[in-house]
Amino acid sequence: MDNDSGSKTSTPSLETSRSSNSFIIIATLFYEPSTRTRLSFESVMKRLGGEVLTTENAREFSSTAKGETLEDSIRTVEGYLDIIVMRHFESGATRRAAMTANIPVINTGDGPGQHPSQALLDVYTIEREIGKLDGIKVALIGDLANGRKVRSLAYLLAKYNDVKIYFVSLEVVKMKEDIKEYLTLKGVEWEESADLKEVASKCDVVYQTRIQKEHFGERNDLYEEARGKYIISRDVLGVMQKHAIVMHPLPRLDEITVDVDGDPRAAYFRQAKNGLYIRMALLKLLLVGW
């Protein structure tokens, strides 16, 4: 596997932990659409010498559509494989799956709840780009109410020292109280702001997210109110520090203008690539240990 320095490193195979006539199999069990997360896990498994069983729309194209419970689905599919990589539209669904299964279950997003593997690749990206995780200032922008990725990132950043988090959003999509209460409990300084440029000028990391239309139902008026309010453009880049970075979990719509892409501080495509390395490490840890 090539790393970003241009050197080549060998990719270890998980087959070495098993008999010569068997290999690791994972299932990517996705009840919601995904591009980066699902494909990165599947790519990782292939690179590690394993195989993948996949269903990219289990909500419609599995026995769930016939009324099968999540627990019954998990009890069935765990007999075919070694690990389940799961995304679900209900908060807490992955926890239910993990409590049911006798094999590892990786949460790759459960409704508006959490997205732990994204948070891991995000802190890896920050450390790799900025050079540290302690003492940083991070702006979380956009749909903070429905964005499981920013929730998980805020939770994980609380593990580090002297971190300050700015929440930049409209009232209708502001960060929920449970995360703010957790940060306060852990002694993490946080602040809510409506001024994107002022916050961006102070921060090491400017983390943008899209406004998620799918969570607004028929309230298109609220979606239109939130959409387009906070956009990362060349003007915002102009007030950012030279070492600072712009991150985005993707996909983006128009919340980062395309003319930002060429700036070296635009880290979001490097961020997406980092998901490969983090998920490779995660699978190795869960399946064969360190």
Q: What is the pLDDT of residue 19?
A: 47
SS3 211: coil
pLDDT at 22: 65
Residues 193-252: tens digit of each pLDDT: 999 999 999 999 999 998 877 767 677 777 777 788 899 999 999 999 999 999 999 999
At residue 7, the pLDDT reads 47
* Residue 66: active-site member: yes
Low-confidence ranges of the chain (pLDDT < 70): 1-22, 57-66, 215, 217, 289-290
Instruction: Give the pLDDT confidence score for residue 13 in this predicted structure.
Output: 57
Q: Which two tokens stand for residue 165?
A: 């988090």
Contacts of 134 (CB under 8 A, 6+ apart): 160, 161, 162, 163
Q: Is 215 a catalytic residue?
A: no
Cis peptide upstream of residue 264 (ω within 30 degrees of 0): no
Which member of 37, 64, 94, 125 is catalytic? 37
Given 38, 115, 210, 227, which residue is catalytic? 115
pTM: 0.86
Compute CA distances 124 → 2, 53, 145, whole Å.
18, 28, 24
Q: How much is the pLDDT for 209? A: 95
